[in-house]
């Protein structure tokens, strides 16, 4: 498990550990796949070379804070989630959704986990999270 | 219908018409529900979970629609979730239901969101315009006309029949039962004159101000002699009364004949991802 200073170093552009880079790379790949884009499409939209996207997702190339923000914007996910795998302010709402989904549906635990995983990565709009 | 349901239904209908007005979609035109959601600031996602219709998450202003449902059903679900957003209903999880038109346990928020979606997609003026422009009477026309109008509106055939009976009250129960007895494979067979397992989108010259949104593998029935520009669809066969095309790859194109034309937008089959990217062309050498 990475500590906060390691995460902070990644955000501020200070050289990060390989472990952290791999974690971020994995989340970048997950977010891209969830958003429906291929590496080639991402490269075209962000005016990058396709191998660059591939290298980033393989954890072989470092990403800057600005690049993470660009990926987050394109994928519609939270920069915080891309960097840390966590997101503030939504846990209670996600728990409630999980309870409702379990009660109402025939959804398997695996599917529910996937749905909650998607919700967790989405960018927060800042709107009131009422239920 | 109880007075409570009538009151809530009327409230939902007013709200849906307000949304249409705000978006500048005239009552003579069908609405594209995904484009509408985006313009309302909602981020729509398709996700491949079979036992779910949709989810609305207000904190993220996100709508998630099952990628595994038929196109008309997906559109209605998206309209339903926009309804939850419009009424500030809070986080909603909508389970898979065998048929949205079936009576289900009365829940005010769900009923209101359904009524909202119905009015957003199928206002009476729009539906009647659909029949009038095709010289058809909803009480006597062939089921094929209902199918054509349901394609034009972007909803399911049975959804349109049910809405015509229960909400618009433009047909009686016997007529609705007659229309409901026709099965979709049978309808596709009657339209094409041969069996067809693919989803069939009936496009006629009355399609104005709206695109033909299809998924790879869908068959398009176009006005006779229509041509296609772009790589997303290709002509299959010319028939005496119409032209058959097939959606073959994601992307944008156009179909034209004479003064008439319509944009074609094709997404992957069972597309998973953000709605705004569903028509992105593949990039050569992509992963």
Cβ-Cβ contacts under 8 Å, A89 against chain B: 59
Q: CA angle B206-B27-B279, nearest 5°? A: 65
Inspect the interface and report whether the beta carbons of B57 and A131 lie closer than 8 Å.
Answer: no
Lowest-pLDDT choice from B105-114, B228-237, B272-281: B105-114
Q: How many domains does chain B have?
A: 3
> Is there a contact between A129 and B59 if contact means CB atoms under 8 Å apart?
yes
B91: chain A residues, CB-CB within 8 Å:
93, 96-97, 100, 129-131
- Cα–Cα distance for residue pair A54/B184, rounded to 1 Å: 44
CB contact under 8 A, B55 and A54: no
Higher-scoring residue by pLDDT: B111, B51: B111
Q: Are residues B162 and B197 in the same domain?
A: no
Residue A112: per-residue pLDDT: 83
Interface residues of B toward A, Cβ cutoff 8 Å, are 41, 43, 45-47, 49-52, 55, 57-62, 64, 88, 90-91, 93, 95-96, 271-274, 277-278, 280, 282-287
Interval B19-71: pLDDT, tens: 999 999 999 999 999 999 999 999 999 999 888 888 898 888 899 999 999 99
User: Which of B182, B214, B233 is the C-terminal boundary of a domain?
Assistant: B182
Give me the CATH number covering residue B271: 2.60.40
Domain CATH number, residue A49: 1.10.260.40
- Which residue segment(s) compose the domain that A77 sits in? 4-93
Whole-angstrom CA distances from A22 to A11, A84, A126, B10, B49 are 14, 12, 29, 54, 28
What is the C-alpha to C-alpha distance for residues B77 and B100, in angstroms, rounded to an integer?
9
Pick out chain A residues at pLDDT < 70.
Answer: 1-15, 88-106, 125-131
pLDDT of residue A127: 41
Whether the CB-CB separation of A89 and B59 falls below 8 Å is answered with yes
Q: Which candidate, B245, B165, B256, places its Cα nearest to that of B198?
A: B245
In a domain, A14, yes or no: yes
A105 and chain B in contact, CB less than 8 A: yes
Q: How far apart are CA B92 and CA B110, in angstroms?
A: 9
CA distance B117 to B82: 8
Which pTM value belongs to this model? Answer: 0.89
Query: What pLDDT, on a 0 to 100 scale, did the predictor assign at position A10?
Result: 45
Type and span of the H or E element at A58 = none
User: Can you give the residue range of the structural domain that contains B223?
Assistant: 191-287
Nearest to B91 among A54, A118, A131 (CB): A131
In A59-98, the residues whose Cβ lies within 8 Å of chain B are 75-76, 89-90, 93, 96-97
Q: What percent of chain B has pLDDT over 90?
A: 82
Sheet strands side by side (includes B242-247): B200-202, B219-223, B242-247, B233-238
Give the count of domains, chain A.
Answer: 1
Residue numbers of A between 34 and 53 with CB closer than 8 Å to B? 34-41, 43-44, 50
Pick the range with the lowest mean pLDDT from A4-13, B88-97, B158-167, B229-238.
A4-13
Residue A50 to residue B93, Cβ atoms within 8 A = no
- For residue A64, is it within any domain? yes
Please check the confidence at residue B93 and state whether its pLDDT lies above 50.
yes
Q: State the pLDDT confidence band at B242, using cuts at 50, 70 and 90.
A: very high
| Complex ipTM value | 0.86
φ/ψ of residue A78, rounded to 5? -85, 135
């Amino acid at each position: 498990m990475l500590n906060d200073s390691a995460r902070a170093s990644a955000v501020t552009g200070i050289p990060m550990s390989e472990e952290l880079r791999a974690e971020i790379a994995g989340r970048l790949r997950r977010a891209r796949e969830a958003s429906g884009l291929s590496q080639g499409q991402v490269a075209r939209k962000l005016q990058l070379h396709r191998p660059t996207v591939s290298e980033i997702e393989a954890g072989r190339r470092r990403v800057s804070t600005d690049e993470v923000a660009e990926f987050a914007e394109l994928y519609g996910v939270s920069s915080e989630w891309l960097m840390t795998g966590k997101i503030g302010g939504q846990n209670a709402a996600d728990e409630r959704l999980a309870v409702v989904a379990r009660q109402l549906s025939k959804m398997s635990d695996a599917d529910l986990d996937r749905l909650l995983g998607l919700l967790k990565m989405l960018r927060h709009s800042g709107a009131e999270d009422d239920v | 219908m109880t007075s409570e349901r009538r009151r809530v239904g009327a409230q939902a209908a007013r709200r849906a018409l307000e949304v249409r007005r705000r978006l500048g979609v005239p009552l003579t035109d069908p609405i594209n529900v995904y484009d509408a959601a985006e313009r309302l600031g909602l981020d729509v996602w398709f996700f491949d979970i079979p036992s779910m219709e949709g989810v609305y998450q207000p904190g993220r202003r996100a709508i998630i629609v099952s990628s595994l449902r038929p196109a008309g059903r997906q559109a209605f679900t998206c309209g339903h979730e926009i309804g939850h957003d419009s009424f500030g209903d809070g986080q909603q999880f909508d389970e898979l239901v065998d048929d949205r038109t079936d009576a289900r346990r009365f829940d005010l928020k769900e009923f209101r969101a359904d009524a909202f979606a119905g009015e957003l997609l199928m206002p009476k003026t729009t539906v009647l315009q659909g029949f009038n422009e095709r010289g058809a009477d909803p009480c006597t026309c062939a089921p094929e006309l209902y199918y054509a109008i349901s394609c034009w509106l972007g909803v399911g055939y049975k959804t349109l029949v049910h809405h015509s009976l229960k909400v618009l009250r433009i047909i009686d129960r016997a007529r609705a039962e007659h229309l409901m007895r026709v099965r979709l494979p049978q309808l596709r067979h009657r339209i094409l004159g041969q069996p067809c397992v693919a989803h069939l989108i009936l496009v006629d010259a009355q399609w104005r101000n709206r695109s033909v949104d299809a998924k790879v593998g869908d068959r398009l029935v176009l006005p006779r002699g229509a041509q296609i520009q772009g790589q997303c669809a290709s002509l299959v066969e010319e028939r005496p009364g119409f032209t058959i095309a097939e959606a073959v790859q994601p992307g944008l194109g156009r179909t034209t004949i004479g003064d008439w034309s319509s944009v074609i937008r094709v997404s992957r089959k069972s597309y998973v991802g953000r709605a705004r990217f569903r028509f992105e062309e593949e990039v050569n050498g992509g992963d």
